[in-house]
Amino acid sequence: MDRPTIIRKTAADLRVPPNLADYAATRAAFSWGAVRAELAGLPGGGLNIAHETVERHAQGVCRDRIAFRFLGANTSRDIRYGELSHLTSRFANVLKSLGIAKGERLFLLSGRIPELYIAVLGSFKNGTVVSPLFSAFGPEPIATRVNLGEGAILVTTELLYERKVAKIRDQLPTLRHVLLVGEGGQATNIPGTLDLGTLMTQAADDFAIVPTQAEDLSLLHFTSGTTGTPKGAMHVHGAVATHWATGKYALDLHADDIYWCTADPGWVTGTSYGIIAPLLHGVTSIVDEADFDAERWYRILAEQKVSVWYTAPTAIRMLMKAGAEIARKHSYPDLRFVASVGEPLNPEAVWWGKEVLGLPIHDNWWQTETGGIMIANTPAFDIKPGSMGRPLPGIEAAIVKKDAEDKVSLVETADTEGELALKRGWPSMLRGYLHNEERYRKCFAGPDNEWYLTGDLARRDADGYYWFVGRADDVIKSAGHLIGPFEVESALMEHPAVAEAGVIGKPDEMVGEVVKAFVSLKKGFEASDALRMELLGHARKKLGAAVAPKEIGFLPSLPRTRSGKIMRRLLKARELGLPEGDTSTLENA
C-alpha cells in the first residue's frame, strides 16, 4: 500500500503538553551545564546515579509513589520510592560488609526480578561498577565477560547458579563472592555462595552514599555483538545528565506517567531507560518478568494503564506477526506515546502502530557507546516513517566521509550518505572499551578528535531528519551501487506476507555483490516458489532492478541477538559456509 511520506502532528495528537514543544528554540537554549543544575548532586559534592534516581525522591514528594511494579506470572509486587531507598541501602551495606570497594565490579545474572534492580542501584550507592548480563547467557559468555571485567562479586539466582555458574566457578579467579536469590525466598546452602535474602535482612537500611564524582565509572555494558565480538563499553555516573535530558525530551516523561520499557537490563536500554531515566523523573515503571507473549503484552498495556511505552522493532514485528485481532481485544485509552529503539524501524511498523494502537511508533537511535538516546522522533514532531528523527537538544550530529588517509570531512549537502558522527561532549559518551584502548581510539576523528564515529551509515534530509542506511559492515556494493539493507528490508516488509526480512550481499564475480534477502512469513502464509516470484517482483517494482534482491530465501525466523537485532553477519556466514564467529549473544543459541 502506498502511504503518505509524513505523519503530521496536530494538537489533537498531544494529550499532555510535550516537554519538547519548540525544537529549534529548545536546542538553542540548551546547555549540559543547565541540565547538571537540575540534578541534585551529592550533599557533600559529587554526583551519584543512586542519589539522583532514588534518594532525592525518597526524601521528597515521590516517597510514596510506586517506583516499580513487577509483574510475575500471576503476581504483582510494588516497590515505592521510599522503600527502594531502604532496600538499595541494605544492598549497599551488604557489599560494604563483604569488603567490596569503590570501583570494583559486580556482575548480575538474573531475569527481571526486583533483586536485580535493587542490586544495580545499591551498587551505585557503594560506588561499585555494575555489569548486567543476559540471564539466558550460557557458561562461556558468562565466563568471558566476568573475566574480562575482573568481576569481584556476582549476584544471580540459585537456579541459574546451579545451571550455569557452578561448573565454571573455578574458571572465575577474580570472583570473591556469589550472592544467590533463592526461588522461594531463601537459597539453599550451596558451598561458596551466600544467601542474599539473609544478608539483606541483617543489613541496616540506611547508607551514606560513597562519594562518587561525575567521571567515576558506574556501568560496564557489553555491546549486542551484532557485528562481531561484543565490546565492553565503560560508562560514568555523570551519564545521568543525559538520562535526565533524554527522559524528558525523547521519552517525554511526565511525573504521573505509567511507563513500560520492555528491554532487559542485559542490554543497555534496559538500564538507561528501564531503570535510570524513569526513576529520575519520578514515574512508575512496569517491569514484566515474563518473556514476550503478544496476548500478555496487550493485556499489560491495557490493564496497567501504560501511558509511555518504549520497545523495540523486533517486538513490534512479533506483534505484527501475531495479527491485529489480539490487539483489538483491549483498548488503550491511557497510552499516549510509543517509542522504539535498537534497529531500523520499518515504515510499515510506524503505520501499524497508528492503525492498531491509534499512535504511530516513534523511532529513536542510539548505541551502547552513546549511553543514551541521541536522535529521536518526539511527540510534537511530524514523523517521516523510516527516519530515526532529529538530534536531541545537546546533541550535534553530522554525516562525515573519510578520505584515503582516514581524514574526515563533514558532508554538508542533504540526502548524501556517509558515516553518522556525533560531536563529543554529551555526558553519557563511553569513556573507553574495556581492555581495548586501540579500538576506542579508532572511534574518534577530526580536529582534536572531536567527532565520535558511530560505524553506522546514514543520510540527513533538507529538514534535518536522519535516515539510517545500514551498518558500515552491512552495506552491499553491487554494480557500482551502494545498497543499504534497511531500504530493501523495508520494501519487502510492505508485502502482506512478510513478517521480517534480513538482507545481505553475496559475492559475485560480475557485479561485486548481489542482494540476497531472507524473509520469515506472517501467520497464514506458506513458503512457495510462487510467493518467492511474487516477492521478487514486488521488490523490483518498489526498488528498481539495481537494488532489488536477486534471490530470496525463506526461514521460519531470522537469527537475532538477545537484544533483538537481526544478525546479518550470521545470515551471510551461513549462506557462504563461513565460520559463524562470536555467537555468544545469539538468541536461542
- 234 vs 221: CA distance, rounded Å: 7
* H, E, C per residue of 60-78: CCCCCCEEEEEECCCCEEE
- 59 vs 525: CA distance, rounded Å: 56
Contact 89, 125 (CB under 8 A): yes
Take residue 192 and report the three cell numbers written for it.
561458596
Contact 107, 145 (CB under 8 A): yes
Q: Which is nearer to Mg ion, 67 or 422 (CB)?
A: 422
Q: Tell me if 365 contacts ligand ATP by CB under 6 A.
A: yes
Q: Which does 417 bind (CB under 5 to 8 A by kind): Mg ion, ligand ATP, none?
A: none
Beta strands at 408-410 and 397-402: parallel, antiparallel or unpaired: antiparallel
- 442 vs 235: CA distance, rounded Å: 18
Strand partners, 477: 482
Closest CA to 159 of 200, 130, 120, 193: 193
Q: Which does 394 bind (CB under 5 to 8 A by kind): Mg ion, ligand ATP, none?
A: none
Q: Residue 76 CB: number of other CB atoms within 10 A?
A: 10
Beta carbon of residue 377, minimum distance to ligand ATP (angstroms, whole number)? 9
Q: Which is nearer to ligand ATP, 166 or 472 (CB)?
A: 472
Q: Which does 284 bind (CB under 5 to 8 A by kind): ligand ATP, Mg ion, none?
A: none
Q: Tell me if 242 contacts ligand ATP by CB under 6 A.
A: no
Q: Which does 311 bind (CB under 5 to 8 A by kind): ligand ATP, Mg ion, none?
A: none
Closest residue to Mg ion in the complex (CB): 223
Q: Which is nearer to ligand ATP, 125 or 231 (CB)?
A: 231
Q: Tell me if 342 contacts ligand ATP by CB under 6 A.
A: yes
Beta carbon of residue 371, minimum distance to ligand ATP (angstroms, whole number)? 10
Contact 165, 154 (CB under 8 A): yes
Chosen residue from 52, 158, 288, 343 binding ligand ATP by CB under 6 A: 343
Q: Tell me if 235 contacts ligand ATP by CB under 6 A.
A: no
Specify the stretch interacting with ligand ATP by CB under 6 A; choose among 111-119, 202-210, 335-343, 430-438: 335-343
Closest CA to 266 of 22, 485, 562, 35: 562
Beta carbon of residue 501, minimum distance to ligand ATP (angstroms, whole number)? 14
- For ligand ATP, what does the binding mask look like between residues 539 and 568, x meaning CB under 6 A? ------------------------x-x---
Chosen residue from 367, 377, 387, 520 binding ligand ATP by CB under 6 A: 367
Take residue 6 and report the three cell numbers written for it.
509524513
Contact 251, 310 (CB under 8 A): yes
Give the total of residues touching Mg ion (CB under 5 A): 1
Q: Tell me if 468 contacts ligand ATP by CB under 6 A.
A: yes
Q: Tell me if 368 contacts ligand ATP by CB under 6 A.
A: yes
Beta carbon of residue 468, minimum distance to ligand ATP (angstroms, whole number)? 4
The alpha carbon of residue 302 and the mean position of all alpha carbons in its chain are separated, in whole angstroms, by 23
Using only C-alpha atoms, the chain has a radius of gyration, in whole angstroms, of: 23
Contact 547, 481 (CB under 8 A): yes
Beta carbon of residue 441, minimum distance to ligand ATP (angstroms, whole number)? 16
Site for Mg ion in 195-234 (CB under 5 A): 223
Chosen residue from 390, 471, 516, 560 binding ligand ATP by CB under 6 A: 471
Contact 539, 555 (CB under 8 A): no
Q: Which is nearer to ligand ATP, 67 or 383 (CB)?
A: 383
Contact 366, 391 (CB under 8 A): no
- For ligand ATP, what does the binding mask look like between residues 370 and 389, x meaning CB under 6 A? ------------------x-
Burial class (CB in 10 A: 0-12, 13-18, 19+), 141: buried
Q: Tell me if 132 contacts ligand ATP by CB under 6 A.
A: no
Site for ligand ATP in 22-81 (CB under 6 A): none
H runs (alpha helix) in 207-353 = 240-249, 268-271, 277-280, 294-303, 313-322, 324-327, 347-352
Q: Tell me if 516 contacts ligand ATP by CB under 6 A.
A: no
Place of cell 565466563: 143
Residues engaged in binding Mg ion (CB under 5 A): 223
Residues engaged in binding ligand ATP (CB under 6 A): 223-228, 230-231, 341-345, 363-365, 367-368, 388, 454, 456, 468, 471, 563, 565
